[in-house]
Chain A
Amino acid sequence: MTKETLVPMLGIVTEVRVDTPDVKTFRVNSVEGGKCFEHMPGQCAMLSIPGVGEAMFSITSSPTNQEFMEFSIKKCGCLTGWLHQMDEGQMITVRGPYGNAFPVEEDLKGQDLLFIAGGIGLAPLRSVINYVRAKRENYGKVRIVYGARSKEDLVDYPEIVNEWCREAGIDVFLTIDQPQEGWEGHVGFVPSYVTELGFDPQGRVLVCGPPVMIRFTTQALMEMGFEKNQIYTTMELRMKCGVGKCGRCNIGDQYVCKDGPVFRFDKLGELPAEY
């Protein structure tokens, strides 16, 4: 944890990986080497380039990774544009970890887990998936449904194919929105693929992706008999301070940066739909 609220520590980008045409994954180490701080899956960190801006990003690496942290970042604004132009060796500022985490050591423990992600929504889930893989004995079946616009837009495709798919006890279901040459997998949107696959309404579900996808996916899950309290998602609202003080990211009386970003669906239903 960064010692001071608002005062970041310095980090160095030690590897830049091009994931998709608009997503890059950055490996970040502290100036002395090693990780900037410890975190739990689902937590976030504020990254900044002084003079450009500061923003919250999910930490995509698993806490079980002892060497570095990773952030998968989609290019969509001024700061992310700048980050995308970075080379290795670039210093940035990092503070965190912020927010709550998926309850990997509590509610999720011992459960079968269903991960459903769309596009860059895989970023926060990747942390959990790799955490679960590292502590495989603590969890039941793991199934991953992941979709993107096209094959090129699937984040972490090599890791998915070369590691996740090959691991026993993990089923990976990939889909893309439109048919594409060289793609022999499933074609279609994530919610309909989820319906198609059909899952037993047991265990826990972790959903992350664009708001529309989340909405239809949860609908599909409920139709299969899942309860709201089995489903978790993460929210993304404008955050500035990261510590529940600047007054921006609240949904009702909950601060996304402090009480979130991970919300169980039944809890979310009790809050104003201001997100």
Chain B
Amino acid sequence: MPKIGVFVCWCGSNIAGTVDVEAVSEAMKTVPGVVFSTNYQYMCSAAGQKMIADAIHEYHLDGIVVASCSPRMHENTFRKTAQAAGLNPYMVEIANIREQCSWIHKDKEEGTRKAIVLAKAAVAKLLHNQPLQAGTSAVTKRCLVIGGGIAGIQTALDVANAGYEVDIVEQRPTIGGRMAQLDKTFPTLDCSACILTPKMVEAAQNEKIRIISYAKVEKVEGFVGNFRATIRKKARFIDENKCTGCSLCMQKCPSKKGRDEFNMEMNNRPAIYIPFAQAIPNVAVIDPEQCIKLKSGKCGLCEKVCSAGAINYQQKDELLEREYGAIVVATGFRPMDPSPLNELGYAENKDVITSLELERLMNAAGPTKGTLLRPSDLKHPREIVFIQCVGSRCDENTNRGKPYCSKICCMYTAKHAMLIRDKYPDTNVHVFYIDVRTPGKNFDEFYRRAVEQYGVDYIKGMVGKVAREGDKLMVRGSDLINNRQVEIAADLVVLATAIEPDPSARSIGTMLTASMDTNDFFTEAHAKLRPVESPTAGIFLSGVAQGPKDVPETVAQASAAASKVIGLLAKDHLVTNPCVALSDELLCNGCSQCEKVCPYGAITYENREVRGPGVREVRRVARVNPAVCQGCGACTVTCPSGAMDLKGFTNQQIMAEVDAICL
């Protein structure tokens, strides 16, 4: 019988307060297999770990149980301790007597009883543990960045500058993302394009970076270090290598009624277009839904005017298969559509706009060439009302929007208000807000400048209704500070709409098996300690895909993700998770059910000579690729004979736990 040591942690008073740790370690001494049992204040401390190491040596332990906090917290710590002491790290089991015992029970007797059961279950499992050896797998030294906004660009640049290849896959015809649409950035008010476009150019010119625009990732297989992605490069109907970006075709194109996505569809663009002047790649694209030639076969004007001969109506989608060692998700965000919030009248009134639309209206390259005109009649607005938290911070149950704070709205509204007041002092600006949140460097100073220096009228309160009366928009709201109703006859209403993850995020998450929260933001591996990694190994998070953030935060996170990627790609080999499925070929009858439920395609079948007691024959048997298997265990339940088992969570181990718990 293996010799087991049990180590009960007090976790200060966190455990010891509700669990009689002495009684637990005493009770464990009589459990079969346990040859040593003790307790200590902080097992995870250096002294605690030394205690464990010493006991391993002194009692020749074959395995240890640490009764402490959640294994999600310190399983790795203790595995390392065990390993350092010469034990196989997988001969360690954690009994979670903090999160799942001491913290949720008040009665000490009850807590102690449960802690003993949990520790016994851990011992019971450990009695069936086998030393596991992690395998290794090679690392493909290339990184895939999904999304070519500032987050993706920054990550790509950092990774490329460290000497590794990077592919940026961008769904739009150009990289640049949301930041390219912004006019100025807070709190410095520098021109967004002026700081972004050099980075775009740098990315385009970096020989380690390949920009695959107007494309989407269609399939990802494999695992950390060894991903294989299928990328669909949509037909642009333009030969990227020939197009010079002269934009002559755009002028000649007779079909000019396309909605200009870059300008938030506030103006039109031709069927053949370059999204904006600084687009990278600076190459045109034909909108097949709009192009007369592609729809009816007639026209072909662009082909005629293109001296480079870049137009190719026959172009087809192209599928690229590329291998990667790491994948960075930088899928960014979009503003939430505020139409469902009927009282704000966004759908009916052209002069109710979103903040991002305002960005375009104020931008020199925008639909109004930077002059602030209201969309309905192109008149200069004199009264502008900003409404904060539109769709943010909503009660989840009301279905009116997002439960979270979109984080950037307070600052960009202050920016907008300040810019308008600065440029058009005759225009009054009112801001309805719930709270103003300015916890950033120079943020509060910026906000106060808007109020104090620029006289922006901040009204704490909510807007109940926006209704058109004549050419005015009547904004009715409450002023909570003065405790009264206010009504403002506005010319323009700007909604600080919530930001939400790009709609492509969900499917990408599924494809990558990267977990997401209920709002479709990617979940980090640890909220505090591993904020730029997904729980799925090899998947990293950059920018707003992980949660709302402003530009500097996005860039910081992008660089952080890059450093994680570089850390990964710098390795020649990765240690694989040894807790993978294993098929017992003596039991397997090759029925092929397990293959059907494997999400990773890790199971294959082969005819192999099987040798066992009294058996020597060629049989079709399942084989698990341990490098591909992620250890979910779906196959184990599909296998009726129990040939398929999961190392680290074997049938025997789990049943031993069940037995111990039910005793």
- A contacting B, Cβ–Cβ less than 8 Å: yes
Nearest CB in chain B to that of A51: its residue: B32
Bitwise, A127-170 to B at CB < 8 A (1) or not (0) is 00000000000000000000000000000000000000000000
A66 interfacial contact with B, CB 8 Å? no
Cβ of B601 within 8 Å of any chain A Cβ, yes or no, is no
**B2 beta carbon closer than 8 Å to chain A:** yes
- Chain A neighbourhood of B2, CB < 8 A: 85
Min CB gap B35→A, angstroms: 10
Binding site for B on A (CB under 8 A): 82, 85-86
Of all chain A residues, the one with the shortest Cβ separation from B2 is A85
Chain B's closest residue to A82 (CB) is B1
Q: Can you list 4 contacts pairing A with B, beta carbon distance less than 8 Å?
A: A82-B1, A85-B1, A85-B2, A86-B1
| Distance, CA A85 to CA B63, complexed state (A) | 14
Q: List 4 tightest A-B contacts by C-beta distance, closest first.
A: A85-B1, A82-B1, A85-B2, A86-B1
Interface of B is mostly: loop
Q: Which residues of chain B are near A86, meaning CB under 8 Å?
A: 1
> Would you list which residues of chain B between 1 and 47 have a CB under 8 Å from chain A?
1-2
Distance between B651 CB and nearest chain A CB, rounded to angstroms = 15
CB distance from A88 to the nearest CB of B (A): 14
Complex Cα–Cα for A86 and B3 (A): 11
B62, closest chain A residue (CB): A85
Cβ of A82: which chain B residues have Cβ within 8 Å of it? 1
Instruction: Please report the C-alpha to C-alpha distance between residue A73 and residue B349 in the assembled complex, in whole angstroms.
Output: 91
0/1 string, B383-411, CB within 8 A of A gives 1: 00000000000000000000000000000
Instruction: For the complex formed, measure the closest distance between the CB of A18 and the CB atoms of chain B, giving whole angstroms.
Output: 15
In the complex, what distance in Å separates the CA atom of A176 from the CA atom of B41?
Answer: 57
Closest-CB distance, B663 to chain A (whole angstroms) = 14
**Bound complex: CA A252 to CA B2 (Å):** 42
The minimal Cβ–Cβ distance linking A81 to chain B, given in whole angstroms, is 10
Q: In whole angstroms, how far apart are the Cα atoms of A86 and B1 in the complex?
A: 7
Quote the shortest CB–CB distance from A228 to chain B (angstroms): 28
What residues of chain B lie closer than 8 Å to A85, measured between beta carbons?
1-2
Task: List residues 76-90 of chain B with CB under 8 A from any CB of chain A.
Answer: none
Give Cα A82–Cα B2 distance, bound, in whole angstroms.
10
Contacting residues, chain A, for B1 (C-beta < 8 A) = 82, 85-86
A90 (CB) vs chain B CBs: closest residue: B1
How far in angstroms is the closest Cβ of chain A from B261? 68
Measured in the bound complex, the distance between the Cα atoms of B148 and A140 in whole Å is 95
**Docked CA distance A94–B413 (Å):** 87
State in angstroms the CA–CA spacing of A88 and B1 once bound together: 13
CB-CB contacts below 8 Å: B475-510 with A: none
Binary per-residue interface labels of chain B (288-325) against chain A in the complex, 1 for a CB within 8 Å, 0 otherwise: 00000000000000000000000000000000000000
CA of A85 to CA of B4, assembled, Å:
13
Q: How far is the CB of A23 from chain B (nearest CB, A)?
A: 19
Tell me the complex Cα distance, A85–B2, Å.
Answer: 7
- What's the least CB distance linking A233 to chain B, in Å? 21
B655 → chain A closest CB, angstroms? 14
Bound complex: CA of A82 vs CA of B1, how far in Å? 6
Q: How far is the CB of A52 from chain B (nearest CB, A)?
A: 10
